[in-house]
Each structure stands twice: as structure tokens, then as C-alpha cells.
Amino acid sequence: MVDKTFYDRKDNVTLADVAKVTDSVLQREDKASLIIGDIATIKKATDKDICFFYDRKSKEAASGMNALACVTTADLAPLVPKNVVVLINDNPKLAYIKLNEYMYSLRKPSPGIDATAKIAKSAKIGKDCFIGANVVIGDNVEIDDNCRIEPNVVIEQGCKIGKRTRIAANASIAYAIIGSDCYIYSGARIGCDGFGFQLINGQHHRIEQLGRVIIGNDVEIGANACIDRGALDDTIIGDGCRIDNLVQIAHNDKLGCGCVIVAQVGIAGSCTLGNYVVCGGQVGLADHLNIGDGVQIAAQSGVMRDIEPGSVMMGSPCVPFKDFMRQVAFLQKNSTKK
Amino acid sequence: MVDKTFYDRKDNVTLADVAKVTDSVLQREDKASLIIGDIATIKKATDKDICFFYDRKSKEAASGMNALACVTTADLAPLVPKNVVVLINDNPKLAYIKLNEYMYSLRKPSPGIDATAKIAKSAKIGKDCFIGANVVIGDNVEIDDNCRIEPNVVIEQGCKIGKRTRIAANASIAYAIIGSDCYIYSGARIGCDGFGFQLINGQHHRIEQLGRVIIGNDVEIGANACIDRGALDDTIIGDGCRIDNLVQIAHNDKLGCGCVIVAQVGIAGSCTLGNYVVCGGQVGLADHLNIGDGVQIAAQSGVMRDIEPGSVMMGSPCVPFKDFMRQVAFLQKNSTKK
Amino acid sequence: MVDKTFYDRKDNVTLADVAKVTDSVLQREDKASLIIGDIATIKKATDKDICFFYDRKSKEAASGMNALACVTTADLAPLVPKNVVVLINDNPKLAYIKLNEYMYSLRKPSPGIDATAKIAKSAKIGKDCFIGANVVIGDNVEIDDNCRIEPNVVIEQGCKIGKRTRIAANASIAYAIIGSDCYIYSGARIGCDGFGFQLINGQHHRIEQLGRVIIGNDVEIGANACIDRGALDDTIIGDGCRIDNLVQIAHNDKLGCGCVIVAQVGIAGSCTLGNYVVCGGQVGLADHLNIGDGVQIAAQSGVMRDIEPGSVMMGSPCVPFKDFMRQVAFLQKNSTKK
């Protein structure tokens, strides 16, 4: 199913290869040399393809499976039709990721600096970087080895970018120090001025924003997302964070490690999030909040107070998840009474 | 009222022309040769201008109308002052669209490829396309005839663009097949990686996204909107969809024909929308939902479950519109009781 | 704390200078010649730095202050440790702004037009403008003196830009007249087509948008925000407005002076906002609403009706703030009853 116009594919991958690459146990040794056509979803897999079955919710689809082979758990295996070759794996989703990585690859541009890129003389570019057309790189910028800076990106003076970091098309970066192995998606805006001003005699007097954005290692920042720089102190995004498209992170926010911030979330200024905090889509946080480690906030919730570590919250204003469900049930029941 | 700095205007348009172009019946044949100045709103129209009156809510404004002429329905015509020349039309809004198109036009750039555009040798560009300054077009891209690709757009390798499609300034397109007569607004991000990863030993392990974005014919994608590509399967936008600014459409979503998705809506991954689904502004959908044909979801609603065709829903979590109104009334009434 | 990689700093600023610049009264004349290291937050200030204490909520942090000096009010001064030199000021936040502006400055690019900028022959560029790399400026555009147009910006035909206005990287501007002293952030989309169409025989027929965007003086438009142009009439943003990142302002909206529109707000078409209206983050307004002067709308609220001047509203659909709080309390109390 994967379109070879866009992706490269390894040919002649056998079921034995699949078993090896994914650490699965092939149930039919006589089928070991069969070559798989493609990785496919359960529904679309033909009798040449391999699919992955790890969610019991898909059991109906699984029962009608037409695949050549299927990687699944010992528990789910009995639900797979007899004619499909089964490979047993404790974690078929991880197996899927591994086979994906083995079999397909995104095309990467070759290292090199496009003739139209405008790079300040004082900037330092590491080894084997790709710098695309019309990229603009300001004074004293430092870009480490193996980075990929796509067309029409603007990186303003003084920024530092770690190894193997990718900055996608049309993004703009300012006042930022970005770690290694990061991926800034296209159109992301890193380091813009925070929304800071003071009303003086009827005029919103601008407060110059003098901080930075510090982004750790292995961070993703989604398409058209905005991370404002700090006012005086810095805005900080911890290692391993995943920030989705169209998210707003305001000045002086500090995110711990491994946070997952789903699309269109807005976090007002000076909030502190612990490690592995999860915000569902369109969540909003008021300013100056402390959100503990491992907190999970359901989509569209509005947060007006600090949250203790490990809490699961929902609603606007948000309450513990169970309380929210109780409120919903109460309202539905009582509003329809005569 | 239309500013000729920005738009071209046909001069010497008479009331007879208006009647003809809009299929209206002119009530005063003796006025047929009068030339109209401009199309204007009811409030701003001077005694040289024509206006359109189709909403009874505007009856107060209509009673004070100073226009030369007014296109309106037979029903509303008695509300128009005597000195205004009336043209009767069953659908004055459609008449407005027709006169608009007849009388004014947006300036289009002449076909031609700007010298600064960077087009891969293997790319194919159709006849009479406009390719603006600093456009970057990757390997094997195919752009059909009469397209308009505005400055600073990036189109990555392998993408296909149908006839007469317009891609506005600073947009970026990747892993996408786009139909004819589409309009991708400025800053839109088509084909970015879906938000896919798996937590393994405390690290969010990236799942390579190997699908595409397939966009039908006559589709609009708003400014700074994001349409992620599929993980394995494709993200699909059906013919005739209208997607507003700052909308997020996640990996593997499938929209039917004619859907209207208002600004800042977020649709999580693997949702299926039928035909002519309407989502009001800031609506959020959880992942893996099925939304039936013709469903209407009011602004700011949150959708957590499948919705039957034809339903009208509101609230977060959303319920049928009437139930929501009952909840609002119940809450307002009971919360203020002593 | 301010990183001199990114900002310029005035050295040798003494406490006497601070007192003068900020109109503060230095409590220890014997310390007047001491040179301050940096401006810092209360928590991070070392014994060489100056900090500002104006919020009683920070009193705990203030009691452990290690700063050289602190600007605070007469009321709060007793909470500052004895060894810190105190400067008394009625408005320490304003003092902070003043010292900030005196001591630090953002680096501005020198005037000049980059060789790669593509400027139409009919365009007029004022004195001492900076026009960055790959900027594209269309026919008959007029840019007044001292403007700063950053790399990869696109300004389409006919637009006018007032004095000292800054348009940041990768923004796009069309059909717009922008005042003086404005700041359009990176990735903002000004003047795109409004979301206008009419369903005719199952097809969403496009309504050509023929208006403009008129932006007053001293306006800020945030990163990746979208301001659509009017359909026939104009979209208008009054003097002194502050519009945050990722905001959507639709066709024909009219904002008065000094409005504050926080991140991710969406205002549907043809709304009129008075002066100094404040919309918290993620607020949504339905179309054709009138919002009075000085109205404050709390974050995430949904507005479906007109609002009287001076009202403070919350909820979706929004109600007066006190009513909302009563609803929240009622629901929490009653939903948990047996």
C-alpha cells in the first residue's frame, strides 16, 4: 500500500526476515521463505501482504482478514483466519514499528548547501548538513553536524541547533537553543515575542521580551505551532517532548521531559509542567499554573488551578475525571425530567 | 466601495445589465439605462450604488436605504423605500454572487515561471502555469495546466497537483496528491507527519508515517491549516470540501464530499466523516470516530462517540441539540435558586 | 540572566542610574555608585543583580531574595531582606519596563534592501527600510519609512504599510492597509479570502471576497494568526489592538481600539467589538455579534449573543461571570449527592 513515489522500499523481504526483524515467532516454518508484498492495514491487506493485529476492537475486521501473514499476540491469534500465517509477538505494535523501519524509508536529501541559501559569514555549519533553497541563517548561528534545514526556513542571529535536528520548510527560529535529534515541523514559529504589555494611560505599552527558548533533545514541535520566548527568564521544553500541530506555548512556560501536547492546546504564560504530562487536543491552561508529573488532561479541558501529580482531569473548569463523568450523567438525567 | 487598487471593475454596468446577469426582473423599465456606481452593503450604499436585501433581519437598515437600486425578493420588496429602484429575484444572494463575478475580478498573475523558482529537472509543469518567486519544487512533482503557485511555496518530491489549482504564498506541500480547481491558502501545511509514536522504556519512539494526503477536486484548505498524511493508509479529503483557517486534520482522517469545517476545528486521527458534514468553529473530535452524512456539529462541541447521519449535535461532550438547550436551561434555572 | 548572544546590554549601570531611569527613590544613598550585574527574576537574582517585586503572591520568594537590589513599593518593602538595597516605586512593573528598555535592546538589522528581494518596479519603498532576503513585494505596494520587512515575507499588490512597521519572517500580506508602528509576527496571514460560499445544487459555490483588511496604528498581530479580508466591506482592526498567536479573525469583523485577543481565539464573520474588549484564550464568537466597550470574556468561553458594554462573561454558551461560578458550584455539589 505504501506509495513508492514517495517512499523507498526494501524488496524480497521474507517471513523469516519479518520474524527476525520484529523478534516474532513464526508459526509455520514451511512458509519462512515466502516474500511479503507490503505492510497493510487489516482491512486492506491482500493475500500478498502482512498486517498487524493488536487491538481487540479490530476483531471483526480480523475475522475477515485476507492477508498472507499477520503479526499478533498469542491471545489474539485464535481470531485470525486459518489460512493466514501467524507470527506471535508480545507487542505487535512495536513489531510494526520495527518492520516499518526495516522495510521502508523516507527519502532524505543529500548533504549540501543550496546556492540560494543566505548564510551569514559568522555562522558555523557542521558536517554533512543539508541546507535547502532560500534558507536564511543569521549572524553567529551554530548548526551542528547532520542537520537538515529545509527550504525557506529562517534562523535568526545567535541560535544554536544540535546534531541531526531537522527544521522543515517555511519554519522560523529566533532566540532559540535547540538540542539534538529534534524535528521542528513546517511553519512552526520558535522564539517569537511573548504576549507582554502593560496598560499605561490607555495604551498597551510593550514589554520587551528578553529571554530565550531552550529546547532539549529528541523533541518534536508540530506544524504551525508557536513557542514564544521568555520575557526575562527562558521558555523551556524538556527532552523527549512531543508537541503537535497548532499548539501555543507562551512565554516562560517550562515543560518537563516526555510531555505529550496534542494539537491546538494553548498554555498561557509561566506555567510549569512536570514530566510525562499529557494534554489532549484543544486543552487550555491559565497562566502561572503548576501541573504535576504524569498528569493527564482530557481534550478540550480548561485548567484554572494547579494539578497534583498523577491526576486525570476533564472539563472546563476541569475536575477529576470521575467527577466530570458524574456531572455529565447528572445533567443529562435531570435536565430531561419533567 | 470596492477598492480599485486591489480589484478590477467593469464600468458602465446598467440596471438592464444587472437584470440580465442576475436573472432579476427590473420593476422600472424607465431606469434600465442607469449606470450603477458600485455594489455596496445596505448601510453604505449611496444613491449611485446597488445593494442586495435578502435577510429579514436587515429590515431596519433596509427602511433607511439610500441606494440607487436594490435586488430583493417579492416578499421583502415592500420594505424598500419608494425612491429605490427594485429588481425582484427569488434568490438575491445568488444574484449578488453573479453580479459580483460579472462586475469585479481579482487580478491574476500572468502565466510564467519566475527566474528564482527552483524546479527539479524531473518535475513536470503544465501549460500556462504561474510559478512565483522562490518557489521550490522537488523531484518528480507533476503540476497540471493553469496552476498558480505563489511565492515561497515548497512542494516536495513526488506530489501531483491537478489543473487550475492555486497554492498561495508560503504554503508547504508534501506526500500529497491534489485534485483540480483546489485552493490551498497561504501557510497551509499539507502532508506533514502524523502525531504517531509509541512509549518504549520511557521514550516516545517515533512511528514513521508512510501514507499520503489525497485531496479531491474543488477543495479549499484555509490559511495555516494542517492536514497530516496517513500513517500507512491515506488521509483523504473528498471533492468540494471547504476547510477554514487553522484547522487540524490528523493522520488517516477521511472526509466525504462537501464537508464544511470551520476555523480552528481539530479532528483527531482515523476519523471518518460522511458527505456534507458541518463542524462549527473550534469543534474537537476524538480519534477513530464515524460521523454520518449530513451531521451538523455546533461550534466548540467535543465529540467522543460516533454520530448517526443527519444528527444536529452540541456541547462537550456533545448531545443532540435539543438536549443541550435543555441542559443549559436547567442549569441556569436551578443554579440561581436559593 | 539576559543572554548577550541575543541582546545588547548597556554596561556600568549604577543604582543611581536605576533610580533616575525608573523614577525610584533609592533607600541607601551610600550604595548609589554600585554597578548592577543584570536584571533578574526574584528567584534567580544573585548578589550582583537587581530584581522587581510587585506582586504580594511572590512574598515567599521575596523573603529568600539574594539580590543586590530590589525595586518595590513602600508597602512591600518590609518583606525584602535587610541586606538587599531597596528602591521605592509606586509602580515597580513600569519601573521594570523602563529599566529593561534602558539597559537592553534587541538587535535590529541595518537599513538596506537585500539583493535577493524581488520588488515590483511600481512599488515604493520609504527611507531607511530593511528589506530581507527573498522578500517578494508586488505591484504598487507602498512601504513607508523605517519599516522592517523580514526574510521570506510576501506582500501582494496594492498593499500599504505605515512608518516603522515590522513584518516578521515568512508572513504574507494581501489586500491590506496597515498603519504605523505595527508588528505583524512571523507566519501571520493577513488578507486571505474570507470563508464565503453558497450551496447551489450540492456545490459550495465560492463568493469572491472583494474587501480589504484595514489595520490601525500600534497594532500587533501574533504568529500564525489569520485576519481574513472582508467580503465586500472591510475587516477592521482598531488602533492599539493586541492580537496573540494563532487567532482567527474572519471577514468583515470590526475591532475597536485597544482590544486584547489572546491566543487561539476565533471570531466568526461580521462581528463588531467595541474598544478595549478582552477575549481570553480559545474564546469563540459566533457571527454577526455586537460586543460592547470594555467587555471581558474569560478563556474558552463561547459567545452566541450580543454582550452589553462592561460585562464580564464566562462559559459556553457564556453567561455573566457570577452566574457561571454559581453553575459550576451547583453542578459540583449536586452531581456528587447520593
Show the 3-state SS of A269-316: CCCEECCCCEECCCCEECCCCEECCCCEECCCCEECCCECCCCEEEEC
What are B69's strand-pairing partners? B50, B85
A247 with A265: CB under 8 angstroms? Answer: yes
Among the listed residues B85, B97, B77, B86, the one whose alpha carbon sits nearest the alpha carbon of residue B22? B97
- Distance (Å, whole) CA B1 – CA B44: 8
C239 with C217: CB under 8 angstroms? Answer: yes
Question: Which of the four pLDDT bands, split at 50, 70 and 90, describes residue A2?
Answer: confident
Among the listed residues B224, B212, B114, B107, the one whose alpha carbon sits nearest the alpha carbon of residue B169? B224
- β-pairing verdict for A197-200 and A203-206: antiparallel
CA angle, residues C73, C76, C81, in degrees to nearest 5: 115
Residues in chain B: 338
3-state secondary structure chain C: CCCCCCEEECCCCEHHHHHHHHCCEECCHHHCCCECCCECCCCCCCCCCEEEECCHHHHHHHHCCCCCEEEECCCCHHHCCCCCEEEECCCHHHHHHHHHHHHEEECCCCCEECCCCEECCCCEECCCCEECCCCEECCCCEECCCCEECCCCEECCCCEECCCCEECCCCEECCEEECCCCEECCCCEEEECCCCEEEECCEEEECCCCCCEEECCCCEECCCCEEECCCCCCEEECCCCEECCCCEECCCCEECCCCEECCCCEECCCCEECCCCEECCCCEECCCCEECCCCEECCCCEECCCECCCCEEEECCEEEHHHHHHHHHHHHHHHCCC
Q: How far is CA C144 from CA C123, C127, C175, in A?
A: 11, 7, 17
Interchain pair A134, C152: CB under 8 A? yes
* Summary mean pLDDT of chain B: 96
Question: Which of the four pLDDT bands, split at 50, 70 and 90, describes residue A33?
Answer: very high
What ipTM was reported for this prediction?
0.94
* Summary mean pLDDT of chain A: 96
> Which residues of chain B lie closer than 8 angstroms to A218, CB-CB?
203-204
Cell numbers for B267: 479532528
What are B26's strand-pairing partners? B87
- Distance (Å, whole) CA C204 – CA C36: 64
Query: Of B104, B246, B262, which is closest to C246 when you measure between CB atoms?
Result: B246
Cell numbers for A122: 559568522
Interchain pair C101, A208: CB under 8 A? yes
The pLDDT tens digits of the residues spanning A292-303 come to 999 999 999 999
Averaged pLDDT for residues A309-325: 97
- Distance (Å, whole) CA B317 – CA B306: 12
Interchain pair C316, A317: CB under 8 A? no
- Number of A to B CB contacts under 8 A, please give it: 171
Q: Does C110 touch chain A (CB under 8 A)?
A: no
In this structure, how many other beta carbons lie within 10 angstroms of the beta carbon of residue B337?
7
Q: How much is the pLDDT for B201?
A: 87
A71 with A92: CB under 8 angstroms? Answer: yes
Query: Of B97, B132, B281, which is closest to C207 when you measure between CB atoms?
Result: B97
- Number of A to C CB contacts under 8 A, please give it: 170
Provide the chain B residues 284-303 that lie in CB contact (below 8 A) with chain A. Answer: 284, 286, 302
Q: How far is CA B203 from CA A311, B200, B269, in A?
A: 21, 5, 21
Q: How much is the pLDDT for C201?
A: 87
B305 has a pLDDT exceeding 90: yes
In this structure, how many other beta carbons lie within 10 angstroms of the beta carbon of residue A58?
18
> Which residues of chain B lie closer than 8 angstroms to C226, CB-CB?
187, 222-224, 245-246, 263
Question: Which of the four pLDDT bands, split at 50, 70 and 90, describes residue B337?
Answer: low
Q: Does C205 touch chain B (CB under 8 A)?
A: yes
Q: How far is CA A278 from CA A228, A274, A311, C25, in A?
A: 20, 10, 11, 47
The pLDDT tens digits of the residues spanning A153-167 come to 999 999 999 999 999
Q: A170 versus B44: which is more confidently predicted? A: A170
Cell numbers for C263: 491566543
Q: How much is the pLDDT for C191?
A: 98
Q: Does A204 touch chain C (CB under 8 A)?
A: yes
Query: Of C140, C172, C202, which is closest to B258 when you measure between CB atoms?
Result: C202
Amino acid at C292: G
Q: Does A118 touch chain C (CB under 8 A)?
A: yes
CA angle, residues C191, C194, C195, in degrees to nearest 5: 150
- Distance (Å, whole) CA C233 – CA B52: 13
Give phi and psi for B177, each to the nearest 5. -120, 115
Burial pattern B131-148, b for ≥16 Cβ within 10 A else e, equals bbbbbbbbebbbbbebbb
> Which residues of chain B lie closer than 8 angstroms to C317, CB-CB?
328
Q: How far is CA A143 from CA A137, B213, C40, in A?
A: 10, 32, 29
Whether the CA torsion B55, B59, B61, B65 is positive or negative: it is positive
B4 has a pLDDT exceeding 70: yes
The pLDDT tens digits of the residues spanning B87-122 come to 999 999 999 999 999 999 888 999 999 999 999 999
> Which residues of chain C lie closer than 8 angstroms to A189, CB-CB?
185-187, 223-224, 245
Which H helix or E strand runs over B249? Answer: strand B248-249
Q: Does B9 touch chain A (CB under 8 A)?
A: no
Query: Of A97, A105, A245, which is closest to B207 when you measure between CB atoms?
Result: A97
Active site residue B205: no
Interchain pair B97, C203: CB under 8 A? no
Q: Give the neighbours of chain A: at least 3 Cβ pairs within 8 Å.
A: B, C
Q: Does B272 touch chain A (CB under 8 A)?
A: no
Picking from A178-187, A278-287, A306-315, C204-213, which range would have the lowest pLDDT averaged per residue? C204-213
Cis peptide before C317 (omega within 30 of 0): yes
Cell numbers for A181: 535529534
Interchain pair C6, A200: CB under 8 A? no
- Distance (Å, whole) CA B131 – CA B148: 6
Q: Which residue of A has its CA nearest to C45?
A: A233
- Distance (Å, whole) CA A264 – CA B156: 25
Sequence-separated (6 or more) residues with CB below 8 Å from residue C298? C280, C283, C312, C313, C314, C315, C318, C321, C324
Picking from A188-192, B317-321, C45-49, C230-234, which range would have the lowest pLDDT averaged per residue? C230-234
Averaged pLDDT for residues B291-303: 98
Cell numbers for A132: 535547502
Give phi and psi for C213, each to the nearest 5. -110, 125
Whether the CA torsion C45, C46, C49, C54 is positive or negative: it is positive
Q: Which residue of C has its CA nearest to B260?
A: C204
CA angle, residues B63, B66, B69, in degrees to nearest 5: 95
A328 three-class SS: helix
A336 has a pLDDT exceeding 80: no
Q: Does C217 touch chain A (CB under 8 A)?
A: no
A272 with A291: CB under 8 angstroms? Answer: yes
Interchain pair B186, C202: CB under 8 A? no
Q: How much is the pLDDT for C232?
A: 83
C145 with C181: CB under 8 angstroms? Answer: no
Query: Of A5, A116, A185, which is closest to B192 when you measure between CB atoms?
Result: A185
Q: Which residue of A has its CA nearest to C276?
A: A202
Got the DSSP string for B173-214? Answer: E-SEEE-SS-EEPTT-EEEEPPS-EEEETTEEEE------EE
* Residue numbers in chain C where pLDDT is lower than 50: none
Whether the CA torsion B33, B34, B39, B43 is positive or negative: it is negative
A149 has a pLDDT exceeding 90: yes
- Distance (Å, whole) CA B124 – CA B158: 10
Q: Kindly tell me the burial class for residue C272, based on how many C-beta atoms sit within 10 Å of its own C-beta (0-12, 13-18, 19 or more).
A: middle
C244 with C236: CB under 8 angstroms? Answer: no
- Distance (Å, whole) CA C52 – CA C76: 11
Q: How much is the pLDDT for A238?
A: 98
The alpha-carbon gap from A202 to the nearest alpha carbon of chain B, in Å, equals: 31
